[in-house]
Amino acid sequence: MNRLWFARAVALFSVAGLVCSCSTAPSEDLHKETRVLLGTFVEVTVKAEKDKAKQAVRAVLDEMKRVEDLTSFHKPSELTRINALAGSGAVHADPELVALVNESLKFAERTDGAFDPTLGPLAKLWNFSGGGESRLPDDSEIQTALAKTGWRRVKTDTSAGTITLSEKGMSLDLGGIAKVYSLDRARMVLKKLGVRSALVNAGGDVAVVGEKSPGKPWRVGVQDPRNPRGLVAVAAITDGFIVTSGDYERFFLRDGKRYHHILNPETGYPATGLRSATIIAPTGVMADAISTAVFVLGVKRGLEYLKRTPGVEGFLIDDAGKMFFSPGAKDYLEVTSK
Ligand code: ADP
Ligand code: MG
């Protein structure tokens, strides 16, 4: 984690902290812990009797660490092992990774490739999430990296337990779903332990178990993409996920232009048109993949996608700061700025 990214994560975290303090009145049975995981700050809040809450928080953090060890793109993981074997045929992989890659390919298909889990070669080039500085690559470098991408060139075989990357130099980057997949798992762990009320915040992406208190949903703030300490909306969430993809988390400015970490798989350059896409959905992987895809699709195609996807709502902010809502989004959202 480079210093700049660390500072950004702190800023994000403090907004999340502000959100949590407005959403959870101080109470003896609220137990909170924070850890740096999956490239961000993870804060777990569990409402339960003290010992049970402590045990649950620890179990959640351990589970999320396990997902990091499975999916990390930069640190050695099961994913980096598979990537290193690109071009050598079908490779045996952890069944959980095979399933996750399968899921990601499903979203690639459903979003016409706006979500593409094979952007590893481009991610390496731009280096938004690894250590060291991000950089603006030459166009020729981008074209060379683009030639090593394409979700149709990945095959999985669930019964054989293998993943095939068809060509040497290809690599999977699951950064668009791994963090919130870990929130899916966190929620599962909490439910298994009998926790009925909890919130897990991973750098602004949030999973919620149950209600905050009887009859009251958890309230989660949506960050203003141009003001790290401001909120544009507050969402009321019971048992579900709220996830945001934005151009303000990992970016650099060059000659007045913003370059950020969500890439258009067609061009290899950062997607344009939106500042943020916030998705409310019943599962984490779904929310995360769709938030990234909608960010790439832009306002018109993004809203069309949300309209035809049942159970999922979204809230987009375009590059002029204008807000757009899917048909049912306002049922969850209280907009705090115009
Ligand atoms: P964050 O993880 O920062 O909350 P996202 O969920 O939008 O934000 O994921 C962005 C990450 O997804 C990038 O850092 C990169 O690893 C990966 N990525 C970038 N562009 C795409 C894309 N078009 N499809 C799938 N994954 C992408
Ligand atoms: Mg995402």
Residue 338: what pLDDT?
A: 55
Does the beta carbon of 292 sit less than 6 angstroms from any atom of ligand 1?
yes
Angular region, 210: left φ>0, alpha ψ -120 to 50, beta rest = left
Does the beta carbon of 129 sit less than 6 angstroms from any atom of ligand 1?
yes
Handedness of CA 222, 7, 295, 108 (dihedral sign): negative
Q: Residue 267 contacts by C-beta under 8 Å, 6 or more apart in sequence? A: 142, 146
* Arithmetic mean of pLDDT, 255-259: 93
Ligand 1 atom closest to the Cα of residue 203 is: 4
Does the beta carbon of 46 sit less than 6 angstroms from any atom of ligand 1?
no
Residue 15: what pLDDT?
A: 37
| b/e sequence 177-187, b meaning 16+ C-beta within 10 Å | bbbbbbbbbbb
Ligand 1: which of 79, 110, 119 to mutate, judged by most atoms within 8 Å of the beta carbon? 119
Residue 271: what pLDDT?
A: 98
Does the beta carbon of 8 sit less than 6 angstroms from any atom of ligand 1?
no
Ligand 1: centre distance to CA 283 (Å): 17
Does the beta carbon of 290 sit less than 6 angstroms from any atom of ligand 1?
no
Secondary structure class of 319 (helix, strand, coil): coil
Ligand 2: centre distance to CA 237 (Å): 19
Residue 197: what pLDDT?
A: 96
Q: Tell how strand 227-237 and strand 333-335 pair up.
A: antiparallel
Confidence class for position 158, pLDDT limits 50, 70, 90 = very high
Q: Residue 295 contacts by C-beta under 8 Å, 6 or more apart in sequence? A: 245, 246, 262, 271, 274, 276, 277, 302
Q: Which residues surround ligand 2, an ion (CB under 5 A)?
A: 176, 245, 288, 291-292
Q: Hey, what are 161's tokens? A: 């337990």
* Arithmetic mean of pLDDT, 133-158: 96
* Arithmetic mean of pLDDT, 169-185: 97
Ligand 1: centre distance to CA 265 (Å): 11
Ligand 1: centre distance to CA 328 (Å): 25
Are 54 and 45 in contact, with CB atoms under 8 Å apart? no
Does the beta carbon of 221 sit less than 6 angstroms from any atom of ligand 1?
no
Q: Is the pLDDT of residue 19 over 70?
A: no
Residue 245: what pLDDT?
A: 97
Closest residue (by CA) to atom 19 of ligand 1?
262
Does the beta carbon of 105 sit less than 6 angstroms from any atom of ligand 1?
no
Does the beta carbon of 313 sit less than 6 angstroms from any atom of ligand 1?
no
Confidence class for position 9, pLDDT limits 50, 70, 90 = very low
Total-model pTM: 0.92
Secondary structure class of 232 (helix, strand, coil): strand
d(CA 227, CA 38): 24
Ligand 1: which of 292, 295, 297, 305 to mutate, judged by most atoms within 8 Å of the beta carbon? 292
* Arithmetic mean of pLDDT, 51-63: 95
d(CA 75, CA 38): 10
Among the bound ligands, the one closest to the CA of 179: 1
Ligand 1: which of 107, 173, 182, 297 to mutate, judged by most atoms within 8 Å of the beta carbon? 173
Tokens 């370059």 belong to 259
Q: C-alpha 328: how far from its chain's center?
A: 22
Residue 137: what pLDDT?
A: 96
Handedness of CA 196, 200, 206, 207 (dihedral sign): negative
Structure letter (DSSP) for residue 328: T
Q: Is the pLDDT of residue 311 over 50?
A: yes
* Arithmetic mean of pLDDT, 273-285: 97
Does the beta carbon of 108 sit less than 6 angstroms from any atom of ligand 1?
no
Secondary structure class of 131 (helix, strand, coil): coil
pLDDT in tens, 27-50: 547 899 999 999 899 999 999 999
Q: What amino acid is encoded at 243 in this protein?
A: V
**What is the rounded end-to-end Cα distance, in angstroms, of the chain?**
35
Phi and psi at 200, nearest 5°, equal: -120, 125
Structure letter (DSSP) for residue 118: T
